[in-house]
Structure 1
Amino acid sequence: MQTCQILVLYYSKHGLTKQIAESIVKGIESEGAEALLRTVPDVSTHIFESVAPVPSSGAPYITLDELAKCDGLALGSPTHFGNMAGAMKHFLDSSSSLWLKGSLIDKPACVFTSSSSLHGGQETTLISMMMPLIHHGMLLVGVPYSIAAVHKTTSGGTPYGASAIALTDKTKLSKEEQEIAIAQGKRLAKIAKQLTQATPNLGN
């Protein structure tokens, strides 16, 4: 049987978005799918600077080939002025070759984010990440209100996608934030598995 591989691609500066990504991985793996955790390199305002080819710690850098071959995508970035971080936008801007080939059409995707305050632009950031995925023809997966934590959360977590707020501890999720992230990973994996079983060559 074909393995269903879900790409969890994130950018994290202080660690909170990474925590969400790792919780989404737990949800994906609990459904028997394979999670591929990847990040993107920083971008610099100094155009002659270059980043190291391998990050000093954490997840490896993503490649366009890995994005093309995934069966599903979880995309995450912290909120930067109500938008995704420049590093993530820079990577997505480089994916036009996949758009031309239709490599991501009909594959499921979800988005997640974090911010430093309660009203820090989380929902607009989530929507900003959805837009290029729509252009790629991907199928967006949100967090339904059947997930009890969506009703109870007093911190992060939205129907648009998992989220977290760094009010006191920048690297620790609340109970509800973690539950929502895991649930989002589980739902993404379930849908990706159904689609890959229905169309076995979807990830190729």
Structure 2
Amino acid sequence: MQEILVLYYSLRGSVRALAEQVALGIQQVPGSAARVRTVPRVSAVCEAVEDDIPAEGPPYVELRDLEECAGMALGSPTRFGNMAAPMKYFLDGLGAAWANGTLAGKPAVVFTSTASLHGGQESTLLSMMLPLFHHGMLVMGLPYTEPALNATRSGGTPYGASHVAGADGVARLSEEEAVLAQALGRRLAQTAQKLGGRGR
């Protein structure tokens, strides 16, 4: 059984809703399981401000999650066209994993959520890819062979799954957003299987 890491940060639940759909897509591939993890919030001076164990939801990510995964789906809300500080803070601390090639050769995908329709989804997804390239990951998107990519009137991009939450921040995915998030998870799991868990 191969495990795919679904790692996300979510403040109001929208990215968590996407993560759940990505995980569902992973689990639709026989022989694949999703390992869902999150990162803690940080303060303005970039120090963790949460307890070691979250009060609810999935546990915080550990180095062994990166070592043991066959692939990774990375999710964050958009902050002015970029990933949120807690996810950036976590990625910035992976120098040792980079030096060791922990993630090299593993497939990866990204997903995000914005409050507004043109809130920087694609730039956020692209910015999230950059550190994954530096880690030697094989970064993928969503092909237009997915019919929902042409049908969506809200979230969903060729760079990765996305959601438009609206001003109220409600974590209610559209049908196309959910379909595309699941497709992203399936594609990631299928690719990891084709690679046979070979990293580096």
Range of TM-score over shorter length: over 0.9
Aligned to 1:185: 185
Instruction: Report whether the alignment pairs 1:126 with 2:130.
Output: no
Q: Deviations over 1:147-197 (max 9, x none)?
A: 000000000000000000012561110000000000000000000011126
Say if 1:4 and 1:196, in contact at 8 Å, map to a contact too.
Answer: no
Q: TM-score, normalised by structure 1?
A: 0.93
In structure 1, the gaps of 5 or more residues are: none
1:182 is matched by which residue type in structure 2?
Q
1:77 and 2:76 correspond: yes
Contact 1:27–1:186 (8 Å) recurs in 2: yes
Displacement of 1:49 in angstroms is: 6.9
2:137 matched to which residue of 1?
138
Cα offset for 1:92? 0.4
* Deviating more after overlay: 46-55 vs 8-17: 46-55
Runs of 4+ residues over 4 Å off in structure 1 = 46-49
The equivalences for 1:1-204 within 5 A come to 3-32=1-30, 33-45=32-44, 50-167=49-166, 170-196=170-196, 199=198, 202=199
Identity of aligned residues (%): 50
**Cα gap change, 1:79 to 1:48, in 2 (>3 Å):** closer
The CA distance in 2 between the partners of 1:173 and 1:31, in whole Å, is: 22
Q: CA deviation at 1:103?
A: 1.2
Change (3 A) 1:144 1:39: same
**Number of matched residues?**
198
Equivalents in 2 of 1:26, 1:15: separation in Å? 16
Root mean square deviation, CA, Å: 1.5
Deviation at 1:50, TM superposition (A): 3.6
